Structure 1
Amino acid sequence: MPFYKALDALQNGRATEPVTILQIGDSHTANDAFSDQMRTQLQNDFQNAGRGFLQPGVPFRYYHPAQVTVTSTGWTPVSAFSKTAAGPWGISLVRQHADRPASMTITADEAGGLGRGMVEFLSQPGGGQLVVQADDGGRTVVSTASTRNSDAMWLRMPTTPDTRSVTVSAMGDGPVDVLGWEVAKGGPGRPAPGILYSNLGITGSTIDILSRVDPEILSEEIRHLNPSLLIVAFGTNEGFNTSTAFDSYSARYEQIIQTLHGAAPMAGLVVVLPPDGVRQERLPPSIRSCEQLAPTGRGFATPAALDTVRQAQTDIARRNHWMQWDWRQAMADPARPDGRCAILAWGARNPPIAAKDHVHLLKPGYQQTALSLYNDLMHGYTIWSSLKHKK
C-alpha cells in the first residue's frame, strides 16, 4: 500500500517531504473532531508537518479547524452543495468570493506552524488583485485577471520559518475567488517531513457533490498536494434522504470514486461506511426496531435506505480492492455486536457522546471512533512491515 510505504520512509528517516492524507466527506468530516484525532495520532507517531490544505476562510458557521485559528471579513462563501451556484469547484468544494475589499487570516496555534504555504485562487477576466501578507513582513501582490476563464492558480505565501499568521486580501478592484489554502511547517523549498491531514467536508452532502469538481482543477490539485491516502466518507445523507435514487446509486458512487482515485492513482483509498444513525417512525412488524437493543430504542429504527447504502459501498469497495472501514462497527459493544442502534446508547450516556439528533456524534464519540480507524490502519501497517522484512 503506498500509504504504508510513505509511513515507513518517515519512520526510518528517509522521507524528504510530508505524507498527505485527504479525508473528504459530509458533516462528519466537516466537524474536525474525528479528523483531528486521526491527525493527532499520526503526527504523534510519525512527526507533525503542519496543518495542511484547508477550505478557504470561514466556509460555514461553527468552523473551528484544529491547530489554527481562522477569521474572515468581507468574503462570501459559496458551496458546491448549492445547486444554484455555478462552478468551477476544486476538491475543497467551497470557494470564497469578493467583489469588494475583504480579508481572511490564518494563525497557527504554535510558533513556526506556517513556515510555508500556498493560496489557490481562480484567474478570471477582470479579476482583481490578491494580496498575501505575512505577520513577519513578507508581502506578495498578484493580479487574478486573465484572458482565460476560471483557471486554478497557486501562489506561494511569503513566509519564513518564524511566520505565525498570514492574511489573504482582495483589494476590491475586481472579482476574486479563493479555492483553498495550505499551510505547513518548514520553509519554502524545505518542507518538513511528517503528516499533513486535511478534512474537506460539506454538511448535508452526498457522494454526488464530488461530481461537481472540475477535472482539470482536481488534476492540478492532486499533483500539488500529492496525497498518499484518500479517505472517502459519505453515506449518512443518502441513507436518510427519501429522494435518493437507489436504482443508480451504486453506479454513481463507483464512478465518482474511480474518478477521484484516477486523479491520484498512487494513493491508497479507504471507503468509510457511515456511522450508526436512527430515526423515530411508525414501524411495521417486518421492520426490526432498536427497542430490543437499547433502553431508549422504542419507536426508533435504522432507515432501510442506510443499510442499502452500506451494502452498496461494501460491494463496491470489495470489487475494486479498496480498503473499507465500518464506522458503525466501531460503535459496537457486547449488546450491539454490529453497532446497530448504538447511537441511542451513546446518547444516553452520562455525559453523552452522541448528539440528540441520533445522527451525529459528540466530540468524545468522534474521537473514540477515530482511534478505531487509526488502530485498524496501524494494524495493517504492522502486518505490511513484517511481510516487507521477510522478503
Structure 2
Amino acid sequence: MNKNSNWRVVTLISICFIIYLILSIFSFAFDFKWEPFEKVNLITDVFDKNKKSEIVKEDLQKNNPENSKSNSKNLVQDFELYKKPNFITNFYKGDSVTALTEFAEKLHQLKTSKKGKIRIAYFGDSMIEGDLLTQTLRKLLQKEFGGYGVGFLPIHSKVGGFRQTASVKSSGWETTNFMDKGAKNMYISGFSFSGLGNGSFTDKTVTAPPSLQKFLIYGESNGGNINYDGTSISLQGNDLVNSQLLSNNNATSFELKSNSATTPFYGVSFESENGIILDNFSFRGITGVEFRKIDEDFLKAVQKANHYDLIVMQYGVNLLFRPNDTDYSYYTKNMTPVLEKFISAFPKTDILLVSSADRAFRYNGEYQTAKGLPNLLETQARLAYDHHLAFFNLFETMGGENSIVDWASQKPPLANKDYVHPNGKGADILAEKLFHAIMNDYNNYKPKTETTP
C-alpha cells in the first residue's frame, strides 16, 4: 500500500471518529437514543451516565421552595396532594412542609420588626370582582400582621358602585384593556387609561388613620403632570411603570385630573407605611392566558415600581363554558408561557395557583357539577406541579362535587342561582378558609435565623 493510500485510510478513520464523537456528545447531552450509542458511547468513560440526571435533580431542588425544617430530609413529592382541601401544597409530603417559603420568611420579618411592607397581587376573574374574597382576606391578614389601606384601585371601574371597600368615580378617560385587539402592555390589572380625564377616589376600609400614603401608578410621563386635590404635581418617572407618592396624611379620599394626554395611567393606591398591602386585580371573563399581551420587561418594571412578595392566580370557571367539555390540554399549552414569564419576571416571589371553584350545569333536568371539572382541576394542579408553584384546591375547599348547588340552596344562600358565583357571604367563607391555609403554612415555617438541630 502506498503512502497516499495510507493517508486516505487515516483521514477516513479520523473523520469517522470525529463524527461518532460528536454524535456521542449529542446523545449524552440531549438524551438521544440509538442502540449503537447504548452499547458503545465514546464519552461514557469520561462522564458518569447518571451525572446528568443528578445535575437536573440538584437544579430542581434549588429552584423548589423547601421548608428550612426539612432541608436535611429527603423530601418526597406526591402529585395527589392537590386533592386535599383547605391546604396549600408545593407537592412535597410531610406535616411540617411550608409551600410559600419566601412569603413565610417575609411574614416572619414583618411580625418580628413591625417594619416594611408585604405586597400581594391577587389576580382573578368575576369570582373576586368588586373586591369579593380579597376584602376579607386583606382584613384578616392586616389584623394578623399589621397594615391598613385598600391598596390598588384602577383609574376607572365599572363596578365602582358595587364595591364596598372603595369608591371610584371618573370620566373622560380613553381605555385600553385585555379584550382590545392588538392591545399590549396594559397594567397587570388588564387596563390602561389615557387622555385628559379626571377622577375621585375613596378608601372605605379605614376611618381617620394616623397616616395614609396615596400613590399614583403610571407609565412613561415624558414631562407630564396632574392636578391632585387642586395642586399641580409633576410626574417624575420615565420607566415603563412608575409609582409616585402623592401625599401622606390622614385623608382617605382625593381628586385627580390629568393634564397630559399622552401619559398612560394605571391606577392609584392607598397604603399604610408598614404591613400587608393586598391588591385586587379582577377582570371579568378571563382565564389568565390574557397576560400573554404583557411582555416580560413590562412585568419586571411592575416589580421594580411595586415589589410583590406573593402572586395569587385564581382562574378556572371561565374555562367551563360548555357543559360537556372535558379536555383542557389547550389551556396547558396557552398558560405555560404565561407562567414561565411570571416566574422569570418575579424570581424571588412566591406564586400560588388557586383552582377553579365549583360550577354546575343542568344535566338530565337538574344542576350538577360540570363534567369537566375533575379534569380541569388536574390540569391546573399539573401546571403548578410542573412549574414548582404552590397550589390551593378551591373546589374541594368549598365542599367538592355539587357544592355550588348546595351553597345556592342554603338559607341564607352562599351562592347565586347562576350556579357559578358565590355571593358575598360565600366569598367571605372562602377568604377565611384561604387565610387559615396561609396561616397553617406560615406556622410550619422555621425562620432562617434559627438553626436546625
Indicate the TM-score class for this superposition, using the shorter chain for normalisation. 0.7 to 0.9
Equivalent position of 2:126 in the other structure: 27
Q: TM-score, normalised by structure 1?
A: 0.80
Structure 1 position 345, deviation (Å): 1.0
Identity within the alignment, %: 20
Determine whether 1:11 maps to 2:111: yes
Letter in 1 for 2:333: A
Moved over 6 A (4+): 242-245
Q: CA separation of 1:45/1:66 partners in 2, compared to 1, >3 Å: closer, same or farther?
A: farther
Structure 1 position 111, deviation (Å): 2.8
Determine whether 1:140 maps to 2:198: no
Structure 1 position 356, deviation (Å): 1.1
Determine whether 1:357 maps to 2:418: yes
Give the conservation status (yes or no) of the 8 Å contact 2:165–2:203: yes
Q: Distance in 2 between matches of 1:224 and 1:111?
A: 27
Of the three residues 90, 93, 101, the one matched with 2:187 is 90
Give the conservation status (yes or no) of the 8 Å contact 2:327–2:372: no
Structure 1 position 49, deviation (Å): 4.0
Of the three residues 148, 161, 168, the one matched with 1:70 is 168
Structure 1 position 360, deviation (Å): 0.4
Q: TM-score, normalised by structure 2?
A: 0.70
Equivalent position of 2:435 in the other structure: 374
Q: CA separation of 1:240/1:219 partners in 2, compared to 1, >3 Å: closer, same or farther?
A: same
Q: Distance in 1 between matches of 2:241 and 2:327?
A: 36
Of the three residues 247, 251, 255, the one matched with 1:163 is 251
Tell me the secondary structure at the aligned position of residue 60 of structure 1.
coil
Equivalent position of 1:179 in the other structure: 266
Of the three residues 370, 376, 379, the one matched with 1:309 is 376
Equivalent position of 2:355 in the other structure: 273
Q: Distance in 2 between matches of 1:241 and 1:79?
A: 25
Structure 1 position 88, deviation (Å): 2.7
Higher helix share: 2
Q: CA separation of 1:370/1:162 partners in 2, compared to 1, >3 Å: closer, same or farther?
A: closer
Of the three residues 331, 338, 343, the one matched with 1:261 is 343
Give the conservation status (yes or no) of the 8 Å contact 1:118–1:154: no
Equivalent position of 1:285 in the other structure: none
Determine whether 1:121 maps to 2:203: no
CA RMSD of aligned residues (A): 2.8
Task: Name which of structure 1's ranges 340-349 and 108-117 shifts more when overlaid on structure 2.
Answer: 108-117
Q: Distance in 2 between matches of 1:220 and 1:129?
A: 19
Q: Distance in 1 between matches of 2:147 and 2:442?
A: 19
Determine whether 1:228 maps to 2:309: yes
Structure 1 position 228, deviation (Å): 1.2
Give the conservation status (yes or no) of the 8 Å contact 2:243–2:305: no
Equivalent position of 1:106 in the other structure: 201
Equivalent position of 1:336 in the other structure: none
Tell me the secondary structure at the aligned position of residue 413 of structure 2.
coil
Q: CA separation of 1:65/1:184 partners in 2, compared to 1, >3 Å: closer, same or farther?
A: farther
Q: Distance in 2 between matches of 1:169 and 1:62?
A: 18
Letter in 2 for 1:131: I
Unaligned runs of 5+ in 2: 1-100
Equivalent position of 2:92 in the other structure: none
Tell me the secondary structure at the aligned position of residue 328 of structure 1.
helix
Q: Distance in 2 between matches of 1:41 and 1:139?
A: 37
Give the conservation status (yes or no) of the 8 Å contact 1:347–1:356: yes
Structure 1 position 89, deviation (Å): 1.3
Task: Tell me the alpha carbon deviations over residues 317-345 of structure 1, each in whole angstroms, 9 at most, x when there is no partner.
Answer: 1233322111111111xxxxxx1111111
Q: Distance in 1 between matches of 2:414 and 2:383?
A: 31
Letter in 1 for 2:397: A
Give the conservation status (yes or no) of the 8 Å contact 2:414–2:423: yes
Q: CA separation of 1:76/1:323 partners in 2, compared to 1, >3 Å: closer, same or farther?
A: same
Give the conservation status (yes or no) of the 8 Å contact 2:118–2:275: yes
Q: CA separation of 1:233/1:19 partners in 2, compared to 1, >3 Å: closer, same or farther?
A: same
Q: Distance in 1 between matches of 2:232 and 2:209?
A: 18
Unaligned runs of 5+ in 1: 186-191, 283-297, 333-338
Q: Distance in 2 between matches of 1:305 and 1:264?
A: 32
Structure 1 position 264, deviation (Å): 1.0
Give the conservation status (yes or no) of the 8 Å contact 1:132–1:169: yes
Q: Distance in 1 between matches of 2:161 and 2:342?
A: 25
